[in-house]
Amino acid sequence: MANLYSPQSQAGIMSFYDAPTKGPMINPKIIIAVILAFSIIVMVADKLSIL
């Protein structure tokens, strides 16, 4: 069976993801921490019937 992926197509994908952007650079750990904190706040509020 023929190989579906060639080195050129993989290199093109990698260069797409490595391209610099003009947006803010945010550490992924901060995003995960904010999501977890928000989830905990919502669960506590639900238990206390605030929301």
pLDDT tens, residue by residue, 6-45: 555 555 555 555 566 777 888 889 999 999 999 999 999 9
Which residues constitute the domain of residue 41? 24-51
36 occurs within a structural domain: yes
Rounded to two decimals, the pTM is: 0.53
2 occurs within a structural domain: no
- Coil, strand, or helix at residue 48? coil
18 occurs within a structural domain: no
> How high is the pLDDT of residue 7?
53
41 occurs within a structural domain: yes
> How high is the pLDDT of residue 30?
94
Q: Is the dihedral of CA 41, 43, 44, 50 positive or negative?
A: positive
* Number of domains within the chain: 1
